[in-house]
Amino acid sequence: MDVRRDRLRWRGYDYTTPGSYYVTLCTQGRRCLFGHVAEGLLHANDAGRMVTSVWESIPQTFESVRLAEFVLMPNHLHGLLTLRREEALPRVKLGTVIQWFKYRTTLEYGRGVRTRGWQRFERHLWQRGFHDRVLRDEAERAHASGYILRNPRQWREDRYHPDAP
């Protein structure tokens, strides 16, 4: 059986290129595992606080990465990050950063399932791949930033909401 998957990355683009990137990661099956939204705010559970902590630790693991706005939602995360290029810093690929993040959160989430009674997940915590957008100018960055900051207030209309068509 020949199973073809859509390419998720921009063909031919060097994802070590310095610049800003907008990323979205979704839980497998878009299951709401990280808390709930009420009154336009995410009320993170322990798992959501763990995911936030791991996201915020990315620059400690990858010195050439800087984080900007991000929002954790019940079943996905949107974030802006910047890859910097400085002589003293190693080059890092965007996919390597996201792969590390998914690995760390899956490992920690699995511990939470075993020791803290967190909701189980089937096979994978996160969906395969992730969505990214290379932000080419300040207007694109401002648009992505605004979307991230508005996301919790628009949860009922969000395409990742469990009741979305």
Structural domains present in the chain = 19-153 (3.30.70.1290)
**pLDDT tens, position by position, for the chain (165 residues)?**
333 444 455 567 889 999 999 999 999 999 999 999 999 999 999 999 999 999 999 999 999 999 999 999 999 999 999 999 888 888 999 999 999 999 999 999 999 999 999 999 989 999 999 999 999 999 999 999 999 999 999 998 888 888 876
Structure tokens at 150: 């508005």
The whole-angstrom separation of Cα 4 and Cα 97 is 25
Phi, psi dihedral angles at 24 (to 5 degrees): -135, 130
d(CA 57, CA 67): 9
Confidence at residue 162, expressed as pLDDT on a 0 to 100 scale: 85
Per-residue pLDDT, 165:
67
Name the strand (E) or helix (H) holding 149.
helix 138-150
pLDDT at residue 161, rounded to an integer: 87
